Amino acid sequence: MYKTIIQDLGIYQGNHLYLKREDLLPFSFGGNKARKAFLFFEDFDKGDYDCIVTYGSSSSNHCRIVANICAQRNIECYIIGPEEASEETANSKMMNLFGAEIIIVPVTEVSTTIENKINKLRREGKKPYFIPGGGHGNIGTQAYVDCYNEIQNYGVKFDYIFFASGTGTTHAGLIVGKLLCGGDENIIGISIARRNPRGRQVVIDSIKEYLNNNVISDDIINANTIFVDEYIGDGYAQYVTSVEKSINDVLIKFGIPLDPTYTGKAFDGMVNFIKANNIKNKNILFIHTGGIPLFFDFLNK
Ligand SMILES: *Cc1c(COP(=O)(O)O)cnc(C)c1O
């Protein structure tokens, strides 16, 4: 499996900042969805399957990567997408380029459409493998347990780890990794869309689903799950002007692109969180979870 580098960015606003470059995972613009997808395709290979069904919007990084791997391996790929988020984007253009079949329905019909599609494929004699949207589930969590272990082995003791938290398994995996090896970083997910208490609960549910055997108490899991929903702006893909400023700042200072939906919003949230909590002279790791095609959508606005 691929590992990613941690880049030392030096002192940034009073703290020592490091960036874990998940965006550089060497497949299809990388990102956390690449790390998750590699594990889903390992699972696909273990079973008797011959096509993929998944779910996501037209700007989904997950769907881009899954469609790219399917095209590379000549596997049929079916993507169910919500009509409400179906405008053309760099990611949706690539999904088309990869020959994925994209089925657009109103968001309320998504789950029945997935079920119907899987049943129809089975009736046709095919063997569909379903990947939940965003690479959710224990396999997605595993990908970020692995990532946490890379972070632990880097050789710097991080006081804080920040990243964009969306469907929850990136967040869950990092916390599980920490709990299983007794780490003591503050792991802080910056929500890009969901509000508390639901957003945090989804992360906790993913942690418990993965740990299954209850070796770690609910109290410990609850105390370690920090889901910050203060920097969402008006919701998914909506952002305030300070996000734009942070994107420009990081691009100019470090030559690293962020996007307004995920990494830019989370980075800006981190900067505000650091100010609000008066955090100084700490080692801070920001995980760049990818989404580079969304940076180009941002430039084209
Ligand atoms: C999906 C995504 C996230 C959020 O990851 P989750 O595991 O869904 O919480 C963060 N950043 C980028 C770029 C993403 O594509």
Per-residue pLDDT tens, the chain, 301 aa: give them: 899 999 999 999 999 999 999 999 999 999 999 999 999 999 999 999 999 999 999 999 999 999 999 999 999 999 999 999 999 999 999 999 999 999 999 999 999 999 999 999 999 999 999 999 999 999 999 999 999 999 999 999 999 999 999 999 999 999 999 999 999 999 999 999 999 999 999 999 999 999 997 689 999 999 999 999 999 988 887 888 999 999 999 999 999 999 999 999 999 999 999 999 999 999 999 999 999 999 999 999 8
- Give the sheet arrangement for strand 101-105, strand by strand: 101-105, 76-82, 51-55, 128-131
Which residue has the least CA distance to atom 7 on ligand 1? 170
* Ligand 1 mean position, distance from CA 36 (Å): 10
Cα(25)–Cα(147) distance, rounded to whole angstroms?
12
Cα(188)–Cα(243) distance, rounded to whole angstroms?
18
Which residue has the least CA distance to atom 8 on ligand 1? 167
Beta bridge partners of 20: 6, 287
Which residue has the least CA distance to atom 10 on ligand 1? 164
Cα(226)–Cα(165) distance, rounded to whole angstroms?
10
| Prediction pTM value | 0.97
Q: Which two tokens stand for residue 210?
A: 């993965």
CB of 151 closer than 8 Å to CB of 161:
yes
Residue with tokens 């995920």: 262
Q: Which two tokens stand for residue 229?
A: 């929903």
- Give the sheet arrangement for strand 15-21, strand by strand: 6-12, 15-21, 283-288, 160-165, 186-191, 226-228
* Ligand 1 mean position, distance from CA 123 (Å): 34
CB of 60 closer than 8 Å to CB of 164:
no
Residue-wise burial string across 157-195, b where 16 or more C-beta atoms lie within 10 A, e elsewhere: ebbbbbbbbbbbbbbbbbbbbbbeeebebbbbbbbbbbe
The ligand 1 site (C-beta within 6 Å) comprises: 31-33, 61, 134, 164-171, 262-263, 289-291
Give the number of other Cβ atoms within 10 Å of residue 262's Cβ.
Answer: 27
CB of 86 closer than 8 Å to CB of 102:
no
- CA angle at 271 for the pair 278 and 269, rounded to the nearest 5°: 115
